[in-house]
Amino acid sequence: MTDQSRIKNAKSKIDVAIVVGSDSDLPVMARAAETLEEFGVPHEVQILSAHRTPQLLEEYAASFPERGVKVVIAAAGSAAHLAGKIASTTTLPVIGVPLETGGLGGLDALLSTVQMPGGIPVLTVAIGPAGAANAALGAIEILALSQPKLSEKLAAHRKKMADSVARKNAELQQLGVAKYVRKKAAHG
């Protein structure tokens, strides 16, 4: 497949574009796509690299207006310039997800993503899976400003989380710490 056809394969209208620097980022970033799916937000995932496919990345970013893209999520590890590079080419909100790739535990990617010079913001979330989920939720919060249905879904999502914690706490109070921990270790 040529570089060109990869962009052509993109779906026509989407609200959120997720860009990953490598296919090795997909296991973690699948969580962001799943969250957008769960909320019914039109999105797509593309593998494009600030260093390995710089021209293609620029072409893709240039297509955002005609595609109707409203928020971009960019995830990369190591010298993670992906989010910053995209942010330099668009005034859409860009959420950067730093990923762990090796010995530095993702700190390299965190600093490469978060330390943008004044004037070109990258809204940076936590390293790894929590960041992937929060990037999607953050994108949904931005979209919810003009889509009230998404606000309702976000409120329901928070309630579900709170209910789950309350259920766990009730069980902890009933079983005590030692039994609770043993049960969790056995059943997950």
Least separation in angstroms between residue 81's CB and ligand AIR is: 7
Q: Helical H runs in 99-147?
A: 107-114, 129-144
Q: Which of 101, 125, 102, 103 is nearest to 113 (CA)?
A: 125
**Choice from 15, 39, 73, 78 touching ligand AIR (CB under 6 A):** 78
Which part of the chain contacts ligand AIR (CB under 6 A), choosing from 19-27, 33-41, 135-143, 177-185?
Answer: 19-27
- 3-class secondary-structure state, position 29: helix
Query: Crossing angle for the helix pair 177-187 and 148-175, nearest 10 degrees?
Result: 120
Least separation in angstroms between residue 88's CB and ligand AIR is: 15
Which part of the chain contacts ligand AIR (CB under 6 A), choosing from 7-15, 74-82, 124-132, 134-142?
Answer: 74-82
Establish if 50 lies at the interface with ligand AIR (CB under 6 A).
yes
Establish if 52 lies at the interface with ligand AIR (CB under 6 A).
yes
Task: Region of 40 please: left (phi>0), alpha (psi -120 to 50) or beta.
Answer: left
Q: How many whole angstroms separate alpha carbon 106 and alpha carbon 89?
A: 25
**Choice from 79, 111, 114, 154 touching ligand AIR (CB under 6 A):** 79
Q: Which of 138, 144, 142, 140 is nearest to 124 (CA)?
A: 138
Contact predicate 71/92, CB 8 Å: yes
Establish if 22 lies at the interface with ligand AIR (CB under 6 A).
yes
Question: What is the pattern of x (binds ligand AIR, CB under 6 A) and - over residues 101-140?
Answer: x---------------------------------------
Q: Which residues bind ligand AIR (CB under 6 A)?
A: 21-22, 24-25, 49-52, 76-80, 99, 101
